Amino acid sequence: MIYTILTMVKWLSILLVALVLIIATGILLFLKFAPAFGGRPDAETLARIKASKHFNGKTFINIVPTHASTIEIENMAATDSSEDGHILWQFLFPPKGKNPSQPLVSHQLALADSDPHSSSALKEGEFIWLGHSTVLFRAEGKTLITDPVFHRASPVPLGGKPFAMTDSPRVADLPFIDVVLISHDHYDHLDHRAIKQLVQQNKAGHFYVPLGVKAHLIRWGVSADKITEFDWYEEIILSENTPTKLTPSNPALVGKSAQNKRQLTTHELRLVFTPTRHFSGRRIKGHRTTLWGSWVAQSNKLSVYFSGDGGYSAEFANIGKHYGPFDIAFVEDGAYNERWRDVHMLPEESAQAGFDLGAKVVLPIHWGKFDLSTHHWREPVLRLKQAVADGNTKVSPERQIKLATPRIGERFNLDNLPNGAWWETEKQIQMANTKLAKSSA
């Protein structure tokens, strides 16, 4: 009897060890070979990275000292980890009411294969916010999109799920995109499934990306000749027929750049990759080995700024000085916390960034789609709205900011800005549902 029990224990132990080894091997293979993690830069890109003044030999660095850490899981056992534990618990088990309890009412996106001249097509100077940092707009006969994310903000199906919507945007609903602007390679900004779908559905013309990000796109099926990598303050002008050569700009001399200062003609679009205070990385190791940043897109009729991600810094004023004022700025407003304000602005700082940029209109982005921090899902827009109102009392009328607050999928232009507090309607629905549930109990 004892021999039989010992034999069973022995084989169970062997099976358990084998199972652990199989799981561990599977995890290691996933981390090494899963497409979501992207690719490695080739020799040409590595040479440009090493030549960058923003690369210290190992990683890219911000213009100002920046602490990029959020939850230091590896140190939780050795330090007073109560705050880290609370933050991690809120990520894993959001408290009731923190996220929408019902699908957000969104507008249907139906632009696929539409005739550019039809009434349903995206018109010159029109914008559509698709949630988080994805904005679709049209300038100088070209359709542009920023950080196209349509799926989970995670490489695994355990987190980063988008909020439920009545009409969730899909890649299949997009028109042909002439210009895809990528700010950095974090999962909530670079969606490998969306990139593959853009390629498979032949919906993307050219990708403009930070240094080092090209390798990711190539692994996901984008042709190398459809990708241009940028260092900070490099710029390019897209004409009706062909782009001008990528032009490096010394930030100290950017105000004297002939290409920057010359008046753009009809059908020309200038793209400039500008700095942010952030970091990058898609793997457990190798953070900050690809660059991050923001974008300026200008024609002779429209000037747009897209912030990407980042903490507040004086660089907003520098960008505003050399490239502003901006007709509209898509400014990060969400996923913040005092612990990581160096890399994600608080709403009050987002408002100040808008004033620094000389933005006439601010479209808050980076909110309303994912739960990536500890704050309530409505808090970013509420705090930003108040901060902009407060800031407007301190500046001259010509420097005051208008806030655009569209629903996801809602089309608008600068002459017809959406400014309804639609999140309050969602709050009323949530309160009514809670009241109904209590009365039924």
Residue 242 makes CB contacts below 8 A (sequence gap 6+) with none
The tokens describing 66, both together, are 């920046």
User: Rounded to an integer, what distance in angstroms lies between the CA atom of residue 276 and that of residue 273?
Assistant: 10
User: Rounded to an integer, what distance in angstroms lies between the CA atom of residue 363 and that of residue 305?
Assistant: 10
User: Rounded to an integer, what distance in angstroms lies between the CA atom of residue 314 and that of residue 312?
Assistant: 7
Task: Provide the mean pLDDT of the chain.
Answer: 86
Task: Compute how many other C-beta atoms are within 10 angstroms of the C-beta atom of residue 367.
Answer: 26
Q: What value does the mean pLDDT take over residues 147-152?
A: 97
Could you tell me the domains of the chain? Answer: 126-429 (3.60.15.10)
User: Rounded to an integer, what distance in angstroms lies between the CA atom of residue 345 and that of residue 111?
Assistant: 33
DSSP 121: S
> What does the pLDDT read at residue 95?
78
Model confidence pLDDT, tens digit, residues 311-353: 999 999 999 999 999 999 999 999 999 999 999 999 999 999 9
The tokens describing 43, both together, are 């020799």
Residue of higher predicted confidence among 160 and 84: 160
Q: What value does the mean pLDDT take over residues 172-194?
A: 97
> pLDDT band at 156, cuts 50/70/90?
confident
User: Rounded to an integer, what distance in angstroms lies between the CA atom of residue 178 and that of residue 297?
Assistant: 13
User: Rounded to an integer, what distance in angstroms lies between the CA atom of residue 395 and that of residue 398?
Assistant: 8
Residue 367: which of 348, 380, 354 has the closest Cα? 380
Model confidence pLDDT, tens digit, residues 71-111: 443 443 444 456 666 666 666 677 788 999 999 999 999 88
Burial of 283 (0-12, 13-18, 19+ CB in 10 A): middle
Q: Is the pLDDT of residue 69 over 70?
A: no
